[in-house]
């Protein structure tokens, strides 16, 4: 049993920018050289999250529209009064989808559905560079 930690960085435009990070996660798994186990993808930070979807143009519009309905960017949030950084909506959206995604792997391959990609969503109200951590536990 081994624990191997990898990372890679992703530049985002913020404002609910959705990035497909499946290829980088797959590369991290290959570099680790483990065959069977479980892998966690984690984004440090409280205004971005990681989840899964089919990465296609329709959903790339539907997902931001959903977040806008649930947690409108222009509403008043207590957080904005605390810091004046105007990204209260971003923290709430990130809390909803959480900061990690876990997936098993077998024979060196991620067990994802055909149309299931791992995505980073950056909700912050400015451009960011995110350091994504991939921790792999297996043999």
Write out the residues near Zn ion by the rule CB under 5 A.
85, 87
Closer CB to Zn ion, 26 or 88, in the complex: 88
**Coil, helix or strand at residue 23:** helix
Residues in Cβ contact with 94 at an 8 Å cutoff, skipping those fewer than 6 apart: 45, 46, 47, 48, 49, 121, 123
We find the least distance from the C-beta atom of residue 79 to Zn ion, in angstroms, to be: 6
**CB-nearer residue toward Zn ion: 68 or 85:** 85
Taking the least distance from each CB to Zn ion, the nearer of 69 and 78 is: 78
To Zn ion, the closest distance from the beta carbon of 74 in angstroms equals 16
Closest approach, Cβ 125 to Zn ion, in A, equals 9
Alpha-carbon gap, residue 80 to 84, rounded angstroms: 5
From the list 110, 117, 105, the residue with the least C-alpha distance to 50 is 117
Residue 109 CB, shortest distance to Zn ion, in Å, is 38
Q: Which is nearer to Zn ion, 19 or 124 (CB)?
A: 124
CA distance 55 to 67: 17
Tokens of 127: 């451009």
């Amino acid at each position: 049993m081994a624990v191997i930690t990898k990372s890679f960085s992703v530049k985002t435009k913020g404002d609910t920018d959705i990035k497909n990070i499946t290829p980088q996660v797959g590369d991290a798994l290959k570099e680790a050289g483990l065959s069977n186990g479980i892998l966690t993808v984690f984004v440090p930070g409280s205004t971005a999250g990681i989840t899964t979807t089919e990465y296609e143009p329709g959903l790339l519009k539907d997902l931001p529209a959903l977040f806008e309905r649930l947690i409108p960017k222009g509403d008043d949030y207590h957080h904005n009064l605390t810091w004046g950084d105007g990204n209260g909506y971003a923290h709430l959206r990130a809390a909803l989808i959480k900061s990690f995604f876990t997936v098993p792997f077998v024979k060196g391959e991620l067990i994802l559905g055909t149309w299931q990609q791992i995505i980073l969503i950056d909700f912050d109200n400015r451009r960011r560079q995110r350091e994504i951590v991939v921790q792999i536990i297996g043999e």
